[in-house]
Structure 1
């Protein structure tokens, strides 16, 4: 796919340059050359794009030459709020001899969206994660960085002290383990509705709205900026912000526990209404 697109782009670029070259050659020949010059003979030959294998070899060589630098960049990433999650999207892309050798990709990221560590495992259980957790603790200790304060996980977070996720990091005595908000929402939608339900998407939007709220200061500054932009065009229109404008410029934060619990109860009450489904309740 990539090579085909590269070939198309390369050939299109060659044709554009050929047209410009022939136009320039024609003008030059008409003004300064007594005998007409054959454009076909003067035209530079078309050079095809190298094969996919050659491109892959060059890419591997380039990465290998910067391997130590890449390792240094990856292992110099830290954070105070970590998130550990697992998925199967990466392992499904394994091909050749590596295909079928792993079942899960388990990643640890920080509050800035940077990946601290990523490993492939045969199971999602914590037994195969001890080496990863030990290496992560040693990285923080060797760099003299403060211990993370909070760890979000997708499972094994229940209990005050003896949880599997908490036991993975015994050196971090004050680490607090909590359920990731996305997985919290997924647990609620499993109880209330199925993905095939016509109100499923609406329910998730409502659930997200009662859990998160936009930062008032960010929204106010964005409104002021948009108002100035509208005024600069000589228009007088009400300032209305769309989600596409809010997402890249405004931060979101969670509501208080009491308010969130009350709002979620309201949503669950509404969606448990028999009118939301034809069989006496949500699917």
Structure 2
């Protein structure tokens, strides 16, 4: 543990080093933009704090004592460490290297971010990228997350926000299932169908539908529930029922005809819809690697999610 009394000695030790290096109070004072007498008083305080004589002062020259030399050698270690810290910090803000931890919900990570990994790492070969699935609440500082993607209409007000798109929830089923069981025409029809839901919370089997002022809250049932979007989509493709997904998860499956959206004229709301928000702590000193990822993600995802 650092003794608080030592903190006040640090600038005095740095001034002491400069006096030794310059060989006089006058030359050192000029570099520090102080008077020689002020610098002399500062070093007198240092000698008193250390209970040691650092200089032999004569009218002609300044001679460092044996104790002063030992203090100088140790103080130089401090200054060199400080210089190294400055160099590391400067490198952090200018060099495209180091580690980035990015967190996102499973569905978004798998369907949207995963395809960007290879292009990003190829463009920035000295950056290490760590992706983390985070479907619940995230505390960026506590969890040591640099950047978080959230699917929400209530982003964290304490973080920088970049909206890169929006997402809606969509119901879909395979053509074979709909041919066999029929296509629901209204939300209440879902009670007669097998439905695939997340099964993360007690309310995941309750789907809320809106159309203008019309509202329906429907409790669905089904033989298969899983909180993994691709596993749920596989189940839907294989006729296990009607599943609920973010639109970006089923884009390709819809385009290829493997699944068909149902009840498309209704809006489904949950805790995971709204803006696709990229958030990170506010700072004036953002490392270059984070800026590179943010700019890359905004450019690539804005095109992808709006195309």
Would you call these one fold, judging by a TM-score over 0.5? no
Rg (Cα) greater in structure: 2
Task: Compare relative contact order (CA 8 Å, sep 6+) and give the higher one, 1 or 2.
Answer: 2
TM normalised by structure 1 equals 0.21
Greater fraction of residues in helix: 1
Q: Of Structure 1 and Structure 2, which has the larger fraction of its residues in strand?
A: 2
With normalisation by structure 2, the TM-score equals 0.20
